């Protein structure tokens, strides 16, 4: 049941009326909901009729066009097997100096750094802004100017779906000549500007999911063509493999799910926002639980990462677990702490360390119900009041 028109008092009253079974079942941190079989079926019939299953069939073309139509200016969209691959191929298409440093935030998911390495480049972890949780353009400008030639690209990451100031990043690219690739993995809802190439994830856990998938959006048609060529063995209109490449295409079946997801997106977006409002209301008495600016009011995303008092993340997560409420530190202790990246260069990272000790992902889903919201709020109250 989707929570509708219920206030804090009512939401908090629900647990006492809930069945014993509902009381015991843990509140899941994520409950992705992709289009159901009925919604996908018309697209499957089209696949049956066309007998076209992959390699740039009609459904993939339609999906890419509909995704491109969401941008304010003329934009090309290239679908890719997942966002990690899209980031890798986006970097490869930039023809950067092999082994060169790519600046990325330490406060990100491991995929960003893996993509850099897979593209034959070297991650360089940098700290983020304490308010936006994203790279600070001015800081990166200073870094790039001090280390002329060492930085071959920058990847600003959209923190859990928030959008950085793209005008400033466009100005950065113009001023420094350093290519910028936006990791907008969770920013399907907020990305409507592809002056800088940007990558969105269509993973099941994202707001618009099709299982596994992603896309790169850009206003540069030639660049889009190069990325697409990299997804298909380096072919470009002929069966001669012109550049080293891979196979990272999406099938028509994935496109079917994507098209069905786009059909219901306007209504689903409102459902995400409405659920977010109810979660916000349930936590209104806790100023020590800080939402990202605009989360659930200005933009929709599939996770709810909140900042708690400094250093309290582990204790709160443990307390919530005891109350049957799952949480997730979606970006762990920071990307740089993963063993795969032990040897990677890094700047001092005090803000990332602070975020790693204070940010947790609360349960959130498109149809999180009143009972789950109330249990989450009550468990947080308990954890923070007695912590
Ligand atoms: N850049 C950034 C900044 C990213 O955050 C990501 C991905 C990427 C790039 C790369 O995008 P992709 O290459 O994935 O397109 C998830 C996602 O797999 C990943 O897409 C996401 N970021 C990352 C932050 O989180 P896990 O390993 O935490 O998911 P998992 O399997 O533990 O599931 C989370 C919760 O959801 C669990 O409670 C189970 C539940 N769940 C999950 C799935 C997949 C379901 O109930 N149903 C499901 O189908 O990675």
- Is the CB of residue 340 less than 8 Å from the CB of residue 114? yes
Q: How far is the CA of 96 from the centre of ligand 1 (A)?
A: 29
The DSSP-derived string for 282-335 is: HTTT-TTSBPPTTBTTTB--S-EEEE-STT-HHHHHHHHHHTTB--B-TTTT-G
Q: How far is the CA of 143 from the centre of ligand 1 (A)?
A: 32
Task: Please list every protein residue whose CB sits less than 6 Å from any atom of ligand 1.
Answer: 28-32, 82-84, 108-109, 111-112, 157, 183, 185-186, 201, 203-205, 214, 330
The DSSP-derived string for 203-243 is: -TTSSS--SS-EEEEES-HHHHHHHHHHHBTT-SSSSS--S
Tokens of 185: 């993995």
The continuous run of DSSP H or E covering 120 comes out as none
Q: How far is the CA of 54 from the centre of ligand 1 (A)?
A: 25
In angstroms, the CA 261 to CA 281 distance is 28
Q: Which protein residue has the closest C-alpha to ligand 1 atom 30?
A: 205
- Is the CB of residue 255 less than 8 Å from the CB of residue 42? no
Q: Which protein residue has the closest C-alpha to ligand 1 atom 37?
A: 30
Of 213, 162, 210, the C-alpha closest to 184 is: 162
Of 335, 304, 298, the C-alpha closest to 320 is: 304
- The domains of the chain, with CATH numbers, are 20-33+264-386 (3.90.1150.10), 37-259 (3.40.640.10)
The confidence score (pLDDT) of residue 2 equals 35
- Is the CB of residue 247 less than 8 Å from the CB of residue 113? no
Q: How far is the CA of 3 from the centre of ligand 1 (A)?
A: 25
Q: If DSSP codes are grouped into helix, strand and coil, which group holds residue 85? A: helix
Of 342, 335, 331, 329, the C-alpha closest to 105 is: 335
Tokens of 379: 């468990």
In angstroms, the CA 66 to CA 262 distance is 8
User: Which of 90, 114, 201, 365 has most ligand 1 atoms within 8 Å of CB, for mutation?
Assistant: 201
Q: Provide the Cα torsion 61, 67, 72, 73; round to 10°.
A: -30
Q: How far is the CA of 82 from the centre of ligand 1 (A)?
A: 11
Q: Which protein residue has the closest C-alpha to ligand 1 atom 46?
A: 31
The confidence score (pLDDT) of residue 146 equals 85
- Is the CB of residue 303 less than 8 Å from the CB of residue 30? yes
Residues recorded for the chain: 387
- Is the CB of residue 104 less than 8 Å from the CB of residue 134? no
Region of 127 (left: φ > 0; alpha: ψ -120 to 50; beta: rest) is beta
The confidence score (pLDDT) of residue 264 equals 98
pLDDT tens per residue, the chain (387 residues)? 333 333 333 333 344 444 454 457 899 999 999 999 999 999 999 999 999 999 999 999 999 999 999 999 999 999 999 999 999 999 999 999 999 999 999 999 999 999 999 999 999 999 999 999 999 999 999 998 888 788 999 999 999 999 999 999 999 999 999 999 999 999 999 999 999 999 999 999 999 999 999 999 999 999 999 999 999 999 999 999 999 999 999 999 999 999 999 999 999 999 999 999 999 999 999 999 999 999 999 999 999 999 999 999 999 999 999 999 999 999 999 999 999 999 999 999 999 999 999 999 999 999 999 999 999 999 999 999 976
- Do β-strands 76-80 and 122-126 pair in parallel, antiparallel, or remain unpaired? unpaired
183 CA closest ligand 1 atom index: 1
Which one-letter DSSP state was computed for residue 5?
A: S
The continuous run of DSSP H or E covering 116 comes out as helix 110-118
Q: How far is the CA of 164 from the centre of ligand 1 (A)?
A: 22
In angstroms, the CA 108 to CA 105 distance is 6
Q: How far is the CA of 206 from the centre of ligand 1 (A)?
A: 8
In sequence order, the 6+-apart residues with CB closer than 8 A to the CB of 238 are: none
């Amino acid at each position: 049941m989707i929570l509708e028109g219920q206030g804090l008092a009512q939401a908090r009253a629900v647990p006492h009326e809930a069945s014993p079974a509902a009381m015991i079942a843990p509140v899941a941190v994520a409950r992705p909901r992709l289009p159901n079989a009925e919604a996908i079926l018309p697209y499957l019939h089209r696949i049956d009729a066309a007998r076209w299953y992959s390699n740039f069939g009609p459904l993939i073309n339609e999906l890419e066009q509909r995704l491109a139509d969401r941008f304010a200016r003329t934009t090309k969209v290239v679908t890719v097997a997942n966002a990690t691959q899209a980031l890798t191929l986006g970097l490869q298409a930039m023809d950067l100096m092999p082994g060169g440093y790519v600046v990325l935030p330490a406060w990100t998911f491991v995929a960003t750094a893996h993509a850099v390495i897979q593209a034959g480049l070297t991650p360089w972890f940098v700290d983020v802004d304490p308010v936006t949780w994203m790279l600070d353009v001015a800081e990166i400008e200073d870094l790039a100017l001090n280390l002329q030639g060492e930085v071959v690209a920058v990847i600003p990451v959209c923190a859990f779906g928030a959008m950085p100031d793209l005008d400033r990043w466009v100005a950065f690219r113009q001023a420094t000549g350093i290519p910028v690739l936006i990791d907008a993995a969770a920013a399907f809802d907020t990305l409507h500007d592809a002056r800088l190439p940007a990558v969105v994830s269509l993973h099941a856990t994202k707001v618009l999911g099709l299982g596994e998938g992603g896309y790169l959006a850009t206003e540069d048609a030639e660049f889009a063509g190069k990325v697409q060529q990299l997804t298909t063995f380096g072919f470009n209109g002929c069966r001669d493999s012109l550049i080293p490449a891979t196979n990272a295409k999406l099938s028509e079946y994935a496109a079917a799910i994507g098209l069905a997801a786009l059909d219901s997106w306007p209504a689903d977006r409102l459902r995400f926002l409405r659920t977010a409002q109810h979660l916000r209301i349930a936590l209104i008495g806790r100023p020590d639980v800080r939402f990202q600016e605009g989360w659930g009011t200005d933009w929709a995303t599939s996770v709810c990462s909140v900042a708690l008092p400094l250093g309290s993340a582990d204790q709160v997560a443990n307390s919530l677990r005891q109350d049957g409420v799952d949480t997730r530190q979606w970006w762990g202790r920071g990307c740089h702490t993963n063993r795969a990246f032990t040897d990677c260069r890094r700047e001092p990272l005090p803000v990332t360390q602070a975020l790693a000790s204070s940010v947790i992902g609360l349960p959130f889903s498109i149809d999180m119900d009143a009972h789950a919201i109330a249990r989450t709020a009550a468990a947080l109250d308990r954890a923070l009041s007695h912590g």
